[in-house]
Structure 1
Amino acid sequence: MIAASSLAAQTSQHQEVSVSPDIRHIKERYQAAGQGHLFAFYDDLPPVEQRQLVEQLEALNVERVNRIHQKATTGSSPMLDNQTALLAPLPEDCFDSILEAPKDKIHEWQTIGLKQISLNKVAVILLAGGQGTRLGSSAPKGCYDINLPSNKSLFQIQAERILKLQQLAQQQPGASAIVTIPWYVMTSGPTRPATVAFFEDNNYFGLSSSNVVFFEQGTLPCLTFDGKIMMESKSQIAVAPDGNGGVYAALRGTGVLTNMAERKVEYLHVYCVDNCLVRVADPVFIGYCVQKNADCGAKVVRKTAPDEPVGVVCLRNSAFNVVEYSEIDEDVAHAINPRNGQLSFGAGNIANHFYTVDFLNRVESFEADLEYHIARKKIKSLDMNTGQIVVPKQVNGMKLEMFVFDVFPFTERMAVFEVDRREEFSPLKNAPGSGQDCPETSRRDILMQHIRFIEAAGGRVIVGDNDSQIEGVPSLELSPLVTYSGEGLAEIVSGKSIKTPLQANSLEELRRATF
């Protein structure tokens, strides 16, 4: 790019840029695509801003944007047409529940998973593009402190689970000399600098920086309802993140898939940052999917009631999919599976997935068939008639996004694994004090889990007089470095008592607290 000072010195540059063959070609291309309005103010811009606009338009596949808009607004895929969709429960041969599986089977899955991890075949993708706006924070959501006694952020909790799991896998027979679980962290453009800085400031929470790879999800232009690309200024089009389903294109475009190939990774665990109970790279889930020879897997939780507002993993027109609760008729929602007495459509989606690397590489072959969803928004944008920036009071445009589960219809071997909601799912979505899916419920669910860990290991938890018991929950926090999912505690706490408040960061600290 020509330096700004050089541009300013060339008084005739403005005309030269605007009539160059490259510019004429781009203008013609956008005119043909019905998006020529993006050049409406081009001739009035200083050379530097002209170049900025041209670079953005050169990088944009405008024909693809038009195809996505056409597909999203016309419902052109019969596979996902809600008006004609035929819903069916999950086939029994692709579904298992940890709530019903015998202990020896769970142990078998865990052993298989730990083996794959010990051979460095497993990596993790974290979907961490969101900001904590609804939580009253401008920082990335993973930086959020849910007010545990340790004041650990979501990022730190998850990093320490990876560290502990690496230690457990290192103990497996035939393990690699150094067991590594690469952590691929997908940010959005706005959250990347703060996310990287947070990891650097915290020394990557004990992980090797070479095994934490940051990459950005893509963006798509914001559109008017008739498909015109909106502008946020005379030299900049308005864009928004393309949804967590943008991870697939981002993996390919940023070189992450190549990095995985170099590391000889075969299996991926993908999850969202806002679940404080997530079992990162869960060996039981990994082992289950590997044993099923699945190319795609989904963790689900049992719906609490037929009308619980949660998407359901099921079959839609004979293909695996996630169907929103609003798309399921009341009679269907209440249907009961006679085999187990549970809801036939009760597999609640929690955005917690398994993939083979081979499947992720195959996404490109069917990417053109993936669906984009419309989010109607109030979008600050340029009035193309007046050239003024307008902050709308009503919905004036759309953002297009893909969901991470939109690849499900294209799986060849799907596996669905039901887990215990109390142990594995507590999302952080709402503002403090809202009473549901908020910092208080996240904190409660972690502390209550740690109490269950102690009691399941044969220990007794005694509430001390000086335990403030925020919202009635005893203050007992076990670092993930102490235990990943309750293992290793029995030899320390069995037959003994522990008094709260207690924050244990090591097995030795826990041992000293027993009596």
Structure 2
Amino acid sequence: MIAASSLAIQTPKPQVSSSSSDISTLRERYQAAGQAHLLTYYDDLSSEEQTQLFDQLHNLNVERVNRIHQKATTCPSPMLNNQSATLAPLPEECFDSTLEASMDKTQEWQTIGLNQIAQNKVAVILLAGGQGTRLGSSAPKGCYDINLPSNKSLFQIQAERIVKLQQLAQQQPGAAANVTIPWYVMTSGPTRPATVAFFQENNYFGLSSQNIVFFEQGTLPCLTFDGKIMMESKSQIAVAPDGNGGVYAALRGTGVLANMAERKIEYLHAYCVDNCLVRVADPVFIGYCVQKNADCGAKVVRKNAPDEPVGVVCLRNSAFNVVEYSEIDVDVAHAVNPKNGQLSYGAGNIANHFYTVDFLNRVESFEGDLEYHIARKKIKSLDFQTGEVIAPKQVNGMKLEMFVFDVFPFTERMAVFEVDRREEFSPLKNAPGTGQDCPETSRRDILQQHVRFIEAAGGKIVIGEDDEQVEGAPTLELSPLVTYSGEGLAAIVAGKSIRTPIKVNSLEELASVVF
């Protein structure tokens, strides 16, 4: 069993020898699989390179790769072929909205969620494998600074929300002696060292290192269009991450699910690192899903317009799914629910999910039925005729990936939860200065939210003469350590004012600056 203090979980790779008989066996296996070309240059390699290639081929389930390729190319995913699919809106019994719910109902959900957290039954999965390349950064995206007054990274903002939520849950009747929300951080191979180092350098942002577990998402070989595995050198297969849907196999294969069992975790919140407004381990969402007895849940936001290019959570062939905007006919996209006047297909997907641990353990039973999606790419690879590595000018191969929502059709009790986009969703996708889903909009959305927190608590914002108000947002930053979602402020700010620009790091500091 893995110790609870594990900082990093790895599956040890078997030590294998590469004797002549072992090589012969390996050649026969790859010949039978139609992938013998991978050993073309084996005899020309140094001993170290031979060992590297042998180990990689020995540990690769080449037969599984062939099966995945065959399924992806001969049985196209419904994501890519919607000709025979029948779409239907979400059933009313599995859908609720914080935009419509009463304050009492929201409070009920929150209390249920806080009680689960207080009993140490809740953990968080962070999908953090991406790099900040589009943002002009070579660091993992979670290290990115969106230029808040505090210069906090995305990782720090999210970590401090966990710290604050643990404090709030600790106040619940019957809370455990030490309320803990374990944080399982999924990196990619390239981002793992920098991610771990960043956490270490920042002293884990106030969290215990014992409760932060790093693990890597899986990879799959890159393939030619006829299914041949590509190589990036004579001694190395070309591989790529298997998509955010690879989290399910990674949880099992790296021992994370076993770690959760040891900690007696029952419920998980999973999200992507690039959403600066994410409510990590959101007790309202968790409480809603627990009350619904859901095994899987999805947070969604209301589409701004019928033609907004976002995936929609709905039914496809009577099963829950995410359907891309491009797959929905214009008339269907504009259909309105006569009961509430909202779009029938308006549940915009934001990759923010709830799971029971039981469901995550069950994924293995239907993993063979999950779809892999083809991404056609320009892939630098070895030319087996010349032995040279070629950087192609045109698309020459494919990467196979799974999406995190591909498990939705297999859920037995799905819950869909609509939240306010302004409060919970501001993705960081694009380069600075692009004006949409970029660092400037992320910064604006956090600062505007903090203004709303103060005003909702009865306070008044006074714009200082030296406040530049970037993107029109008053420069008022409240640390997550001050408030998780606006709670605890009224006693301090009601009937009082606060002048910008200002950043506030504690309730005590807030009390000292209001007037």
TM-score normalised by length of structure 1:
0.96
- Hey, what's the Cα distance between the residues in 2 that align with 1:106 and 1:78? 36
- Hey, what's the Cα distance between the residues in 2 that align with 1:86 and 1:79? 13
Q: Using the TM superposition, give the Cα deviation of residue 19 of structure 1 relative to its aligned residue in structure 2, in angstroms.
A: 6.8
Partner SS state of residue 145, structure 1: coil
Label 1:277 to 1:41 Cα distance change in 2 as closer, same or farther (>3 A). same
Look up the match of 1:301: 301
Q: Using the TM superposition, give the Cα deviation of residue 30 of structure 1 relative to its aligned residue in structure 2, in angstroms.
A: 0.8
- Hey, what's the Cα distance between the residues in 1 that align with 2:427 and 2:76? 33
Q: Using the TM superposition, give the Cα deviation of residue 75 of structure 1 relative to its aligned residue in structure 2, in angstroms.
A: 2.2
Look up the match of 1:152: 152
Opposite residue 412 of structure 1, the aligned amino acid is E
Partner SS state of residue 126, structure 2: strand
Partner SS state of residue 167, structure 1: helix
Look up the match of 2:467: 467
- Hey, what's the Cα distance between the residues in 1 that align with 2:388 and 2:52? 19
Partner SS state of residue 341, structure 1: coil
Given that residues 80 and 316 in structure 1 are in contact (C-alpha distance below 8 angstroms), is that contact kept between their aligned partners in structure 2? no
Partner SS state of residue 298, structure 2: strand
**CA offsets, 1:280-306, max 9 Å, x none?**
000000000000000000000000011
- Hey, what's the Cα distance between the residues in 2 that align with 1:395 and 1:110? 49
Look up the match of 1:479: 479
**CA offsets, 1:204-250, max 9 Å, x none?**
00000000000000000000111110000000000000011000000
Question: For residues 94-105 of structure 1, what are the structure 2 equivalents within 5 Å?
Answer: 94-105=94-105
- Hey, what's the Cα distance between the residues in 1 that align with 2:445 and 2:146? 11
* Greater alpha carbon shift after TM alignment, 470-479 vs 228-237: 470-479
- Hey, what's the Cα distance between the residues in 2 that align with 1:304 and 1:344? 13
Q: Using the TM superposition, give the Cα deviation of residue 349 of structure 1 relative to its aligned residue in structure 2, in angstroms.
A: 0.1
Does residue 312 of structure 1 match 2:312? yes
Look up the match of 1:12: none
**CA offsets, 1:400-458, max 9 Å, x none?**
11010000000000000000000000000000000000000000000000000000000
Look up the match of 1:7: none
Look up the match of 1:424: 424
Look up the match of 1:60: 60
Partner SS state of residue 461, structure 1: strand
Given that residues 159 and 207 in structure 1 are in contact (C-alpha distance below 8 angstroms), is that contact kept between their aligned partners in structure 2? yes
**CA offsets, 1:256-277, max 9 Å, x none?**
0000000000000000000000
Question: For residues 110-125 of structure 1, what are the structure 2 equivalents within 5 Å?
Answer: 110-125=110-125
Look up the match of 2:140: 140
Does residue 376 of structure 1 match 2:380? no
- Hey, what's the Cα distance between the residues in 1 that align with 2:425 and 2:93? 24
- Hey, what's the Cα distance between the residues in 2 that align with 1:478 and 1:193? 30
Look up the match of 1:282: 282
Given that residues 77 and 373 in structure 2 are in contact (C-alpha distance below 8 angstroms), is that contact kept between their aligned partners in structure 1? no
Look up the match of 1:201: 201
Look up the match of 1:37: 37
- Hey, what's the Cα distance between the residues in 2 that align with 1:71 and 1:203? 45
Identity of aligned residues (%): 84
- Hey, what's the Cα distance between the residues in 1 that align with 2:218 and 2:390? 25
Label 1:105 to 1:421 Cα distance change in 2 as closer, same or farther (>3 A). same
Look up the match of 1:181: 181
Question: For residues 42-441 of structure 1, what are the structure 2 equivalents within 5 Å?
Answer: 42-75=42-75, 81-441=81-441
- Hey, what's the Cα distance between the residues in 2 that align with 1:479 and 1:390? 49
- Hey, what's the Cα distance between the residues in 1 that align with 2:293 and 2:441? 36
Look up the match of 1:14: none
Partner SS state of residue 355, structure 1: strand
- Hey, what's the Cα distance between the residues in 1 that align with 2:283 and 2:77? 36
Given that residues 118 and 175 in structure 2 are in contact (C-alpha distance below 8 angstroms), is that contact kept between their aligned partners in structure 1? yes
Q: Using the TM superposition, give the Cα deviation of residue 71 of structure 1 relative to its aligned residue in structure 2, in angstroms.
A: 1.0
Opposite residue 58 of structure 2, the aligned amino acid is E
- Hey, what's the Cα distance between the residues in 2 that align with 1:275 and 1:77? 28
* Greater alpha carbon shift after TM alignment, 462-471 vs 316-325: 462-471
Given that residues 429 and 437 in structure 2 are in contact (C-alpha distance below 8 angstroms), is that contact kept between their aligned partners in structure 1? yes
Q: Using the TM superposition, give the Cα deviation of residue 471 of structure 1 relative to its aligned residue in structure 2, in angstroms.
A: 2.7
Given that residues 50 and 235 in structure 1 are in contact (C-alpha distance below 8 angstroms), is that contact kept between their aligned partners in structure 2? yes
Structure 1 vs Structure 2 CA RMSD: 1.1
Partner SS state of residue 422, structure 1: helix
Partner SS state of residue 387, structure 2: coil
- Hey, what's the Cα distance between the residues in 2 that align with 1:239 and 1:77? 22
Q: Using the TM superposition, give the Cα deviation of residue 18 of structure 1 relative to its aligned residue in structure 2, in angstroms.
A: 7.6
Equivalent residue pairs, number: 499
Q: Using the TM superposition, give the Cα deviation of residue 79 of structure 1 relative to its aligned residue in structure 2, in angstroms.
A: 9.7
**CA offsets, 1:347-380, max 9 Å, x none?**
0000000000000000000000000111111111
- Hey, what's the Cα distance between the residues in 2 that align with 1:65 and 1:129? 22
Q: Using the TM superposition, give the Cα deviation of residue 77 of structure 1 relative to its aligned residue in structure 2, in angstroms.
A: 6.2
Given that residues 428 and 437 in structure 2 are in contact (C-alpha distance below 8 angstroms), is that contact kept between their aligned partners in structure 1? yes
- Hey, what's the Cα distance between the residues in 1 that align with 2:78 and 2:278? 35
Point out where structure 2 has 5 or more consecutive residues left out of the alignment: 1-16
Opposite residue 158 of structure 2, the aligned amino acid is Q
TM-score normalised by length of structure 2:
0.96
Look up the match of 2:454: 454
- Hey, what's the Cα distance between the residues in 1 that align with 2:72 and 2:226? 12
Given that residues 427 and 438 in structure 2 are in contact (C-alpha distance below 8 angstroms), is that contact kept between their aligned partners in structure 1? yes
Q: Using the TM superposition, give the Cα deviation of residue 73 of structure 1 relative to its aligned residue in structure 2, in angstroms.
A: 1.1
Point out where structure 1 has 5 or more consecutive residues left out of the alignment: 1-16
Given that residues 79 and 323 in structure 2 are in contact (C-alpha distance below 8 angstroms), is that contact kept between their aligned partners in structure 1? no
Look up the match of 2:6: none
Given that residues 75 and 81 in structure 1 are in contact (C-alpha distance below 8 angstroms), is that contact kept between their aligned partners in structure 2? no
- Hey, what's the Cα distance between the residues in 1 that align with 2:468 and 2:433? 18
Q: Using the TM superposition, give the Cα deviation of residue 63 of structure 1 relative to its aligned residue in structure 2, in angstroms.
A: 0.7
Partner SS state of residue 251, structure 2: helix
Look up the match of 1:10: none
